Amino acid sequence: MARLQLKNVHKRWGAYVGVDDFDLDIADQEFLVLLGPSGCGKSTTMRMIAGLEDVTEGEIWLGDRMVNKLEPKDRDISMVFQSYGLYPNLTVYENIRFPLRVRKVPKEQHHEMVMRAIEMVELKDFMDRRPAELSGGQRQRVALGRAIVRKPTVFLMDEPLSNLDAKLRVSTRAQIKNLQSKLKTTTVYVTHDQIEAMTLADRVVVMNKGRIQQVGTPTEIYDNPANTFVASFIGSPAMNLVEGRLADGVFTSEGIRVEGLRRDVTADVTLGFRAEDSVIAATGGQIAAPIYSIELLGEASMISWRLGGSLISVRAPKDFRAEIGETICASVPAEICHLFDTASGQRLA
């Protein structure tokens, strides 16, 4: 049983608050991703779980044990770092074997355990090489093999793909997802890359300034962001956000007018909608403004406008043709729109 609980966890250095009232229950075998910008507290949270940082306040439970005071080596947790952390003088085989030697696992068990890990990370043909003879992706797979060799209760992964190029990130991401499904080990994964979070996670924890902004499945967070921060952080491109006025069910702002919205609210609001939910219209759309930019993405074109200081994007067919500065329209139906309170940033219920 590898249920992991963080109960009102805080981390402070003097007056600086790194993590503020982090409260979360992580289920056995769950793949949980901590997502947020640099400095949001996600790596600090992971380091407290690992025992590399002391908890200022609150409790961390692994199964039926509170582990706040336990040394890292006593928590039965394996961690994969961004920097690989391999021993350059050891072969792949010996690097993966090293945790077994440190933990004094009986030597007669080593070979079977190491070979099992090597086969899982697909490095059998490279097990006699040293790290300098490997590619970045292969080195990261050695680090993964070293983490899984002793079958820990929990995996912690701190931005393990950030040193890899785009193509390697895709293939290694798929391998991590496949490994976790086979191993069925509770995993906490830290990243600032929302594509990694959306593709890997059972649940995503979006963090900002040390606090949890929203917890949910990738679909829940994408479809129903709790506030403008989550809306602006999730999605590629991020959700379009336009500040304006809502009255009598009509939202108005520079270059955009959307009817059929809530009639019970009269306030300054922020209207949100996804680029893929709106379409280019010949005439009569809710947006009418000069084109700011056109980007060909391969499968589609991205059309952007400048509206009220915001950059607004809408997907168009890949064969769409127009000139920058040409005024065109886009359809933004009321049913695809999200409303947020402009002052607080919170979603309007």
Residues of the chain with pLDDT below 50 are: none
Q: Which pLDDT belongs to residue 1? A: 59
| Half-sphere exposure at residue 308, Cβ-oriented, CA atoms within 13 angstroms | 16
Give the pLDDT confidence score for residue 294 in this predicted structure. Answer: 94
Strands (E), 209-290: 211-216, 240-247, 250-253, 256-258, 267-273, 279-281, 287-290
Span 60-69, pLDDT tens digits:
999 999 999 9
The confidence score (pLDDT) of residue 97 equals: 94
Percent of the chain with pLDDT over 70: 100
Decide: 130 and 96 in contact? Cβ < 8 Å.
no
The model scores a pTM over 0.85: yes
Partner residues linked to 280 by β-bridges: 330
pLDDT of 15 reads 94
Q: Cα(316)–Cα(314) distance, rounded to whole angstroms? A: 6
Q: What is the pLDDT of residue 277?
A: 94
pLDDT of residue 334: 95
H or E segment to which residue 116 belongs: helix 107-120
Q: How far is 323 from 155, CA to CA, in rounded Å?
A: 51
Under 8 Å between Cβ of 92 and 120: no
Tens digit of each residue's pLDDT (9 = 90 or more) over 88-98: 999 999 999 99
What structural domains and CATH numbers belong to the chain? 4-230 (3.40.50.300), 238-341 (2.40.50.140)
Identity of residue 93? Y
Sheet holding 310-316, edge to edge: 293-296, 301-307, 310-316
